[in-house]
Structure 1
Amino acid sequence: MIQAETITTVMRALADPTRRAVFERIVHSDEITVVELTRSSTVTQGAISQHLKALKKAGLVSERPEGRNVYYRAEPGGLEPLADWMSHYGVFWRERFINLRTLLKEIDP
């Protein structure tokens, strides 16, 4: 199973609604700068930078400096720890639903 610390970092990064919105903007862009993210947002450039720092720490985005700009892009594997964690519990619940379905058929054929 995935390390709990990694999952916690990803979940914390995505727990904030503003940060999720920033992440969504990055996902739907090839690459995007802080200036572009700030332009269509109600938060300051400093706040956007802090959100980007958390997303980067969680492995959800990467940066590419070019001249005076830094370009951000979504990391394809960034959500993998969360997806793996969820699929682990998906198996757990699927088995329970199968058992419930069987029980219900026995009760009411």
Structure 2
Amino acid sequence: MTENNQLRDVFDAIADPTRRQLIRLLAEAEEIPLHELTVQFPMGRTAVSKHLTILKEAGLVMDRKVGRETRFRLNASPLREVQDWAASYSKFWQSNRLRINQ
């Protein structure tokens, strides 16, 4: 776990296409209510909520109550771990690209 006190691994959280789509939607808006997120998917509110919980456990999503509504926003800082991991392969990609182009 990182200093964010994450309960779930970031890689595990982003492994699911639905959760990646949720991250994309949240990245495009400052904050989105649950009902607006739910209409973007062919599943019910409970299923979307479960995906958001997993993202929340990884520190990727934050929520707040506004009256009876729950609003969600992205906390992209845990994605730095994914970016750093992928960047560690840049030498591999560069050398393989050179071999392919020859």
- Same fold, TM exceeding 0.5? yes
- Distance of 1:39 and 1:9 partners within structure 2: 27
Consecutive unaligned residues in structure 1, runs of 5 or more: 105-109
**Cα shift at 1:79:** 0.6
Name the counterpart of 1:36: 36
- Would you say 1:74 and 2:86 are equivalent positions? no
1:34 deviates by 1.0
1:89 alignment partner AA: Y
CA shift digits 1:39-75 (9 cap, x unpaired): 2321100000000001111111111222111111111
Write out the 4+ residue segments of structure 1 that deviate beyond 2 Å after TM superposition.
none
Structure 2 Cα separation of the partners of residues 69 and 78 of structure 1: 26
Distance 1:76 1:22, change over 3 A: closer
Residue in 1 that maps onto 2:95 = 97
TM-score using structure 1 length: 0.72
Alpha-carbon separation, structure 2, partners of 1:93 and 1:78? 24
Q: What percentage of residue pairs aligned between the two structures are identical? A: 35
Aligned residues: 94
Any gaps of 5 or more consecutive residues in structure 2? none
43 and 74 in structure 1: CA distance in 2 versus 1, 3 angstrom threshold: same
